[in-house]
Structure 1
Amino acid sequence: MLFAEKIRQLREEKQLLQSQVSAALEIDNALYCKIERGDRFAKREQVIALAQLFETDSNVLLSLWLADKLIVTIGNEDELAQKALNIVQEQIKRK
């Protein structure tokens, strides 16, 4: 999971414990551990809070978070995944 790896890296760079991060997010430590392992998705507002806590660009974390969601959604659809992503990209361009 791209997002999980990044937040673990940022937490370690800041020399913070998982319990300190979970306290800052006002969530249970076990839940934060699951997010950092990639077993649970963070909520969008938690991603933004993490960006503030780690003093990093929220768009970077949000992009990784969203990429993980897309990866999970398209799963093993090897042949159709790229076609679906192309359709999404075209729809985004039209907006």
Structure 2
Amino acid sequence: MTLGHKIRDLREQAGLKQRELAYQLGIGEGFLSKVENDQKPLKREDLTKLNELFKTPIEELESLWLANKVYSIVRDEETALSALKVAEEQITYNTLKNGK
């Protein structure tokens, strides 16, 4: 699931129209449409607003937001999957090394 799909699902479950959610987020309805279709990224601070509106764990929203950022960087790379595996190993190593 992408962040855009998650936002659309949350909005529809809450019975909100795009214009209503866009207003609450302080963005345009057209921009929200592009966010929901994974054509535009949200700002990280908008995740807090979504968390407050929909009572969705901020960690889930942040993970999806970050995944979208990573995907936008590697999507056209031939070695994307192997690079992501190396990055995962680096994160695991640094987490263990730093005791987190």
TM-score, normalised via structure 1 length = 0.85
| 1:55-77 deviation per Cα after TM superposition (whole angstroms, max 9, x unaligned) | 11111111112112222211132
The structure with the largest alpha-carbon Rg is: 2
**Alignment partner, residue 2 of structure 2:** 2
Cα RMSD of the aligned pairs, angstroms, is 1.7
Letter in 2 for 1:3: L
Contact 1:4 1:37 in 2 (8 A): yes
- Structure having the larger proportion of residues in helix: 1
My pick for the range that moved more, 69-78 or 9-18, is: 69-78
Letter in 2 for 1:90: E
My pick for the range that moved more, 84-93 or 40-49, is: 84-93
- Mapping 1:4-43, distance limit 5 Å: 4-43=4-43
Letter in 2 for 1:67: A
**Alignment partner, residue 92 of structure 1:** 91
Work out whether 1:54 is the aligned partner of 2:64.
no
Quote the sequence identity (%): 36
Q: CA deviation at 1:87?
A: 2.6
| Structure 2 residue ranges without an equivalent (≥5) | 96-100
